[in-house]
């Protein structure tokens, strides 16, 4: 069985009784050991060729620096810069990035905190180590309400990709997912939450911003070229998310048809076994470029889009006219609304997608429209939402702000009725807060303000 020490996988077969965590931690934090030396020594550790004398030498080389750092509460900026550079080198060129538990080990073992050696802690440092997809999904569910099915499906794809990145093995069972849902239902936020906790490269591309390689403009290779400088070798295991994938084609428009098809062909190449993207990377001298090939075999490609209007295609396929089934024998007493979860491959082809692209997508995953109750739950149950931001800002001004329950339900009701989902909540809260920010600014003494239902409805009505 393998265990991970600062992103390095080692077998539990420890015949020499080596404290691997101690040795690798020292290799990681000591600036007097360069990346090449570290790489060579860890290769010996992995293969069991490291001798006791070599290990003793590592201890001698690092003891003095560890003792010196442990006596300080901060380090000079040049040391912080060197450690940040080393952390990037370690993640890109040696092994995978350390996780939160590794930094906790540094503090408990040597009394050296991560913010001491890296300056202000970053989200990259705080990413936890996940043992399974459920652990990833559980964290995302704390921030996203009402979309458990989609979260659990994406968690499997993200964890499988993460596991392959850790072990540097081929992603032979990866499965692409297309996330479809109405505006304001949380598609982008779900992807963002996974990107935030995923300990590897995640590249989010707005499909409207790029063009096929044969056209003039920003190409996929231009975006990946910049990412190579950031992630290095780990980019081979990148998760690429195409945002607003529905915008590259639409059944009601024939303009730009050749562009749409070329764009789809460009994306299809990311699924071709053995295909490599040609990149021209600027050299360190700034005057020349280095040609490199980026293989796509182990990349995970995800899509998300609203597909606004695809209900009409579903209605046509189901032989519904204005929501009612056509035919002499049909009972048209009730309205039948087509559901997004009934989307088929044929519907996407009717939309304008090539069958060759659709067949490469492992699963179409639809998410629910956000209703009034879900919006209320987001406002009251999730951390770091837009309501919390207003409360925190007011607190910094000296205002203790609260919304009563009926006020929040009024906002949720109005947002749901707008058809824009949670996206409209930001606008509605701004309307409610306009008078507060206008009147008070920074009060002379601390204020307690409660926003009730009457004030909320007046604010929303008067600002329309």
Closest C-alpha among 246, 137, 249 to residue 183: 246
Percentage of residues in the chain with pLDDT exceeding 70? 83
State the chain's mean pLDDT as an integer: 80
Percentage of residues in the chain with pLDDT exceeding 90? 17
Nearest-angstrom CA–CA distance, 293 and 198: 24
For 372-462, the fitting CATH number among 1.10.8.60, 3.30.70.3280, 3.90.1310.10, 3.20.20.70 is: 1.10.8.60
Q: Is the pLDDT assigned to residue 93 strictly greater than 60?
A: no
Q: What's the number of CA atoms in the CB half-sphere (13 Å) around residue 229? A: 12
Structure token digits, residue 147: 């979309």
pLDDT at 403 (0 to 100): 93
What letter does residue 399 receive in the DSSP assignment?
E
Nearest-angstrom CA–CA distance, 128 and 142: 15
What letter does residue 9 receive in the DSSP assignment?
E
Backbone dihedral region for residue 290 (phi beyond 0: left; psi -120 to 50: alpha; all else: beta): beta
pLDDT band per the 50, 70, 90 thresholds, residue 329 = very low
Q: In this predicted model, what pLDDT tens digit does every residue of 251-260 receive, in sequence order?
A: 665 545 788 8
SS3 294: strand
Return the domain boundaries, the chain.
2-118, 133-307+343-366, 372-462
Q: Is 241 within 8 Å of 202 (Cβ atoms)?
A: yes
pLDDT band per the 50, 70, 90 thresholds, residue 288 = low
Helix axes 35-47, 52-70, angle to 10 degrees: 130
Q: What's the number of CA atoms in the CB half-sphere (13 Å) around residue 425? A: 31
Q: Is 211 within 8 Å of 173 (Cβ atoms)?
A: no
Nearest-angstrom CA–CA distance, 422 and 209: 25
pLDDT band per the 50, 70, 90 thresholds, residue 177 = very high
Regarding pTM above 0.75, the answer is: no
The residue assigned the tokens 């006596």 is: 71
Closest C-alpha among 210, 205, 310 to residue 250: 310
pLDDT band per the 50, 70, 90 thresholds, residue 464 = low
pLDDT at 97 (0 to 100): 62
pLDDT at 186 (0 to 100): 86
CATH class of 133-307+343-366: alpha beta
For range 114-132, the mean pLDDT? 64
Beta-strand runs (E) in 183-312: 202-206, 239-243, 276-282, 289-295, 300-305
> At a CB cut-off of 8 Å and minimum separation 6, what does 212 contact?
219, 259, 262, 263, 265, 266
pLDDT at 88 (0 to 100): 67
Nearest-angstrom CA–CA distance, 325 and 462: 43
Q: In this predicted model, what pLDDT tens digit does every residue of 186-239 receive, in sequence order?
A: 898 999 999 988 888 899 998 888 888 878 888 888 888 878 767 777 788 999
Structure token digits, residue 170: 């081929």
By mean pLDDT, which of 59-63, 184-188, 274-278, 459-463 is the weakest? Answer: 459-463
pLDDT at 94 (0 to 100): 46
Nearest-angstrom CA–CA distance, 460 and 429: 9
Q: In this predicted model, what pLDDT tens digit does every residue of 410-423 receive, in sequence order?
A: 999 998 888 788 88
Q: Is the pLDDT assigned to residue 9 strictly greater than 90?
A: no
Do domains 133-307+343-366 and 372-462 share one topology? The answer is no
pLDDT band per the 50, 70, 90 thresholds, residue 122 = very low
What letter does residue 271 receive in the DSSP assignment?
G
CA distances (Å), origin 444, targets 172, 434, 437: 64, 19, 14
Q: Cα 335 vs. chain centroid, distance in angstroms?
A: 39
pLDDT band per the 50, 70, 90 thresholds, residue 123 = very low
Q: Is the pLDDT assigned to residue 175 strictly greater than 70?
A: yes
pLDDT at 161 (0 to 100): 92
């Amino acid at each position: 069985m393998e265990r991970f020490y600062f992103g390095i996988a080692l077998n539990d077969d420890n015949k020499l009784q080596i404290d691997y965590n101690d040795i690798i931690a020292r290799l990681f934090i000591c600036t007097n050991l360069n990346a090449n030396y570290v790489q060579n020594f860890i290769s010996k550790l992995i293969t069991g060729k490291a001798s006791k004398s070599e290990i003793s030498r590592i201890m001698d080389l690092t003891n003095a620096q560890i003792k010196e750092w442990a006596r300080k509460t901060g380090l000079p900026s040049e040391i912080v810069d060197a450690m940040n550079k080393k952390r990037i080198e370690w993640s890109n060129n040696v092994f995978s990035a350390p996780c939160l538990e590794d930094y906790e080990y540094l503090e408990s073992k040597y009394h050296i905190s991560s913010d001491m050696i890296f300056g202000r802690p970053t989200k990259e440092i705080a990413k936890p180590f996940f043992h399974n997809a459920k652990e990833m999904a559980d964290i995302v569910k704390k921030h996203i309400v009402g979309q458990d099915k989609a979260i659990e499906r994406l968690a499997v794809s993200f964890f499988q990709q993460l596991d392959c990145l850790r072990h540097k093995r081929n992603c032979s069972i990866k499965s692409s997912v297309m996330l479809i849902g109405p505006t304001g239902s949380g598609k982008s936020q779900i992807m963002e939450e996974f990107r935030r906790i995923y300990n590897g490269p995640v590249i989010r591309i707005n499909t409207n911003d790029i063009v096929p390689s044969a056209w003039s403009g920003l190409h996929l290779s231009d975006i990946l070229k910049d990412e190579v400088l950031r992630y290095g070798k780990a980019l081979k295991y990148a998760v690429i998310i195409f945002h607003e994938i529905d915008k590259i084609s639409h059944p009601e428009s024939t303009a730009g048809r050749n562009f749409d098809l070329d764009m789809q062909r460009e994306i299809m190449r990311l699924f071709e076994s053995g295909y490599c993207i040609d990149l021209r990377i600027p050299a360190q001298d700034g005057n020349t470029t280095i040609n490199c090939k980026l293989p796509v075999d182990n990349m995970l490609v995800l899509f998300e889009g609203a597909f606004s209007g695809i209900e009409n295609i579903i209605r046509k396929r189901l032989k519904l006219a204005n929501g009612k089934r056509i035919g002499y024998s049909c009972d048209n007493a009730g309205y039948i609304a087509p559901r997004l979860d009934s989307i088929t491959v044929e519907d996407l082809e009717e939309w304008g997608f090539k069958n060759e692209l659709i067949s490469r997508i492992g699963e179409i995953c639809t998410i629910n429209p956000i209703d009034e109750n879900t919006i209320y739950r987001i406002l009251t149950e999730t951390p770091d939402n837009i309501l919390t931001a207003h409360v925190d800002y007011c607190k910094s001004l000296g205002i203790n702000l609260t919304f009563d329950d009926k006020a929040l339900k009024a906002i949720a009701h109005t947002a749901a009725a707008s058809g824009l989902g949670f996206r409209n909540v930001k606008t509605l809260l701004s309307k409610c807060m306009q008078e507060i920010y206008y009147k008070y600014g920074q009060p002379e003494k601390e204020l307690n303000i409660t926003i009730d239902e009457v004030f909320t409805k007046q604010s929303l009505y008067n600002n329309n």
